[in-house]
Amino acid sequence: MGNICRSPTAEEVLRVHAQRAGLELHLDSAGTEDYHIGDPPDKRSVLHAQRRGYDLSGLRARQVCPDDFRDFDLLLAADVLNLGVLRDRCPPAYHHKLALFLGDRALPDPYYGQASDFEKVLDLVEKRAVSLLSEWQAPTD
């Protein structure tokens, strides 16, 4: 929603894993709301990510803009609520680009949680990053 916890975590984890795999991707994260535009990620997200070797410190929150639907091949929402907001804002021609980050379930929001919730998000994002990159690297016939 605000682009300070889940989405910057997913952006940086995907970026690091893509680089390790030798895959060049243009990645960005954005919130559906304007709560934190220009703010760095939540300090807890930064801390937990840093412990695993991810650097969120240079990221800044922004809100999804109309050009995103055109410019990106895929827009992954953290949960059904955010996916619904994206669908409402997305031109029908680009609806095929929208999906949940985890594919079939919501990525839990750690914002009101404890340290373990930020760790759980990292666990889920890392696992999904590996899966997504494997799909994207698969040879096409």
Structure-block tokens of residue 87: 């669908």
Whether residue 138 is predicted with pLDDT greater than 70 in this model: the reply is no
User: What's the whole-number mean pLDDT along residues 17-34?
Assistant: 96
Q: What are the tens digits of pLDDT across the range 85-129?
A: 999 999 999 999 999 999 999 999 999 999 999 999 999 999 999
- Listed by start position, the domains of the chain span 6-130
Q: What is the pTM of this model?
A: 0.94
CB 89 within 8 A of CB 39: no
pLDDT tops 90 at residue 140: no
The pLDDT value given to residue 28:
98
By the 8 A CB rule, do 3 and 42 touch?
no
Per-residue pLDDT, averaged over 25-41, amounts to 97
Q: What is the CATH number of domain 6-130?
A: 3.40.50.2300
